[in-house]
C-alpha cells in the first residue's frame, strides 16, 4: 500500500492519542504470568501487540477481548504449558525478547518471526539466560532468531548483561525473574540505553505487585516470589507519546496549524514524552494542559543538537522536523536505532535526503542541514523500508514539501498505529491531502 501526500497548512483539530505500545506489551505479558483474572483496559490492539497476545495464549493464558476495547486475561500463575509449535512473533522485537524470558519458565520452544525480525540481535539475552541455567541458542548460530529455549525454570542468582544494544533484554529478565528459584541479581555491564523502557517495565511490575531493587540502573535485584508472583488486577493503558509525536510534528511544521492531542499524561514514564521538550527547544509553540498537549505552527524551527540515547524511536520524527529547521540539526547517540525494524539511521539518511536537503550519516549520529522556514523542500518518492515509524515520519515530511510525495509500503503502520491515516483524514485533514492507493505506476 502506498500513500500520496500533498503540502498543507492551517491544520486545526483535536484527537486522542492511541494507547501506548510499550505499556500494552508489558501489561499483556505480566497479566499472563499473574495468578487470576486481569482486565487490561484501553490496550493497543495492533500487529506487534497482537503478536504478544498470541504468544501469551500459546503459553497457556486465557484471553478474551471485550467490545474490541478491553482485553481480559486469565493468568497462568507462572505455571505455563508448552506450546505445540514454534511461536511466531511476527515483526515484533519486543515480543520475542519479552517472551524469551517467559519461555525460560517452561519446556522446549522455538521463537521465530518474519524476515525482518530474524535479523534482530538476541545474543546478549541468550547469553544471560544461559547464565541462569536456561539452555538458549540461536538456531542459525549467529545471535539472531529463530531462538530455541529449553526452559524448565530459572535457577536464579547472578547474571551479567550489556545494556547498550536493547533495554528489552533487561526487561525480559526482570519480568520473568519473580518466578525464579531464588533471587535474581542483574548486573548491567555497559551504560544502559533506552532507560525509560526499563522504567516502564518496573512501573507495570509494581502495579502487579512485584517490587524490584534498582541500584542506579547498574544492578537490579528481583525477589523470588514464585508462591505468589504477580497479582492479577485491572490496568488502564495510557496514551502513546511515540505515536502522538507525528501529530505534534505535523502541527509544528505546517504554518497556522493547531493540533490538540489528548490522553498524554504529564507524569508518564515514557521516554518519548521528550518530544515535547525537543519541540520547545526547536522553537515550536507547545502548551501542556492536564493530559493534553497542544502544538501550534509558529512558522519556523531552529536546528539544535539532540541526544536520543534514551529515545531512539523518536529518530524518524525528529529527523523529519529537521528538514525545515533553520541551520543544522545534530541527532546523536543513535547507533542502537540501527537495530530496529530497519536500520533507522541509514533509512532516515537515504529517504529524507530525497526531499533535497543535505544529510551526513555517521555511525551514531545524523547531521541534517535544514532548508529553513523560507527554504524549499521538494516532494519525492520515498520508501518505508517496512518500518512503521519511517512510514509515518515520511508522511509528516510530505505534508511540508512542495508538490506531491509518494510514500511506498505504508501498510507497516499496522504494527503500531493501524488507524494512522484514517485519523489524519478524519480529524485533521478532511480535504484529502493524504490519499491511500493500492498501487501506482512509477
| Helical segments of 107-154, H only | 123-131
What is the Cα–Cα distance from 34 to 40, expressed in whole angstroms?
13
Q: Return the DSSP state at 131.
A: H
Query: E strands within 280-426?
Result: 285-289, 292-296, 301-302, 305-307, 325-326, 328-332, 358-362, 365-369, 381-383, 404-408
Q: Does residue 162 contact residue 190 with C-beta atoms inside 8 Å?
A: yes
Q: Which of 162, 107, 158, 113 is nearest to 135 (CA)?
A: 107
Sign of CA pseudo-dihedral 268, 274, 280, 283: negative
Q: Which of 121, 313, 386 is nearest to 331 (CA)?
A: 313
CA–CA distances in Å: residue 431 to residues 8, 11, 251, 355, 402: 10, 11, 16, 23, 17
Give 137's strand partners: 148
Q: Does residue 112 contact residue 86 with C-beta atoms inside 8 Å?
A: yes
Q: Tally Cβ neighbours within 10 Å of residue 394.
A: 32
Active site residue 313: yes
If DSSP codes are grouped into helix, strand and coil, which group holds residue 165? Answer: coil
What is the Cα–Cα distance from 425 to 420, expressed in whole angstroms?
9
Instruction: Name every residue whose Cβ is closer than 8 Å to that of residue 286 and which is 6 or more positions away in sequence.
Output: 248, 276, 279, 280, 293, 294, 295, 296
What is the Cα–Cα distance from 312 to 271, expressed in whole angstroms?
9
Cα dihedral value 242, 247, 253, 257, nearest 10: -150
If DSSP codes are grouped into helix, strand and coil, which group holds residue 299? Answer: coil
Please tell me which residue in 106, 199, 240, 313 is annotated as part of the active site. Answer: 313
What is the Cα–Cα distance from 420 to 394, expressed in whole angstroms?
13
Query: E strands within 297-415?
Result: 301-302, 305-307, 325-326, 328-332, 358-362, 365-369, 381-383, 404-408
Determine if the peptide bond prior to 146 is cis (ω within 30°). Answer: yes
Active site residues: 313
Amino acid at each position: 500500500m502506498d500513500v500520496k501526500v500533498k503540502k498543507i497548512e492551517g491544520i486545526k483539530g483535536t484527537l486522542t492519542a492511541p494507547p501506548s505500545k510499550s505499556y500494552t506489551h508489558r501489561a499483556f505479558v505480566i497479566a499472563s504470568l499473574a495468578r487470576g483474572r486481569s482486565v487490561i483496559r484501553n490496550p493497543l490492539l495492533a500487529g506487534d501487540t497482537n503478536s504478544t497476545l498470541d504468544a501469551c495464549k500459546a503459553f497457556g493464558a486465557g484471553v478474551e477481548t471485550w467490545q474490541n476495547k478491553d482485553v481480559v486475561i486469565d493468568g497462568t500463575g507462572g505455571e505455563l504449558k508448552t506450546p505445540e509449535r514454534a511461536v511466531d512473533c511476527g515483526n515484533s522485537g519486543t515480543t520475542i525478547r519479552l517472551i524469551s524470558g517467559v519461555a525460560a519458565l517452561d519446556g522446549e520452544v522455538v521463537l521465530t518471526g518474519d524476515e525482518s525480525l530474524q535479523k534482530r540481535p538476541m545474543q546478549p539475552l541468550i547469553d544471560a539466560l544461559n547464565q541462569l541455567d536456561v539452555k538458549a541458542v540461536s538456531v542459525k548460530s549467529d545471535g539472531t532468531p529463530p531462538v530455541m529455549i529449553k526452559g524448565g525454570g530459572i535457577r536464579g542468582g547472578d547474571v551479567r548483561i550489556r545494556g547498550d544494544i536493547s533495554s528489552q533484554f533487561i526487561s525480559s529478565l526482570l519480568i520473568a525473574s519473580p518466578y525464579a528459584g531464588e533471587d535474581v541479581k542483574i548486573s548491567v555491564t555497559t551504560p544502559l540505553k533506552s532507560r525509560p523502557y526499563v522504567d516502564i517495565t518496573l512501573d507495570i511490575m509494581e502495579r502487579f505487585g512485584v517490587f524490584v531493587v534498582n541500584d542506579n540502573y547498574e544492578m537490579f535485584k528481583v525477589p523470588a516470589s514464585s508462591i505468589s508472583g504477580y497479582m492479577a488486577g485491572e490496568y488502564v493503558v495510557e496514551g502513546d507519546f511515540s505515536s502522538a509525536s507525528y501529530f505534534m510534528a505535523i502541527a509544528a511544521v505546517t504554518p497556522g496549524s493547531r493540533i490538540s492531542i489528548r490522553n498524554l499524561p504529564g507524569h508518564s514514564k515514557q521516554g518519548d514524552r521528550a518530544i515535547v521538550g525537543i519541540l520547545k527547544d526547536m522553537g515550536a509553540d507547545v502548551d501542556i494542559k492536564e493530559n493534553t498537549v497542544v502544538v501550534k505552527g509558529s512558522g519556523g524551527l531552529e536546528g539544535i543538537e539532540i541526544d536520543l540515547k534514551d529515545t531512539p524511536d523518536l529518530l524518524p520524527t525528529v529527523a523529519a522536523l529537521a528538514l525545515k529547521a533553520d541551520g543544522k540539526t545534530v541527532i546523536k547517540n543513535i547507533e542502537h536505532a540501527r537495530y530496529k525494524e530497519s536500520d533507522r539511521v541509514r533509512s532516515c539518511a537515504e529517504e529524507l535526503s530525497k526531499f533535497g536537503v543535505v544529510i551526513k550519516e555517521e555511525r551514531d549520529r545524523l547531521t541534517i542541514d535544514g532548508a529553513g522556514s523560507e527554504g524549499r523542500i521538494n516532494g519525492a518518492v520515498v520508501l518505508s523500508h517496512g518500518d512503521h515509524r519511517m512510514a509515518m515520519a515520511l508522511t509528516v515530511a510530505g505534508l511540508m514539501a512542495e508538490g506531491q510525495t509518494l510514500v511506498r509500503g505504508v501498510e507497516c503502520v499496522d504494527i503500531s498505529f493501524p488507524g494512522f491515516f484514517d485519523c489524519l483524514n478524519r480529524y485533521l485533514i478532511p480535504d484529502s491531502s493524504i490519499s491511500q492507493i493500492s498501487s501506482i505506476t512509477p
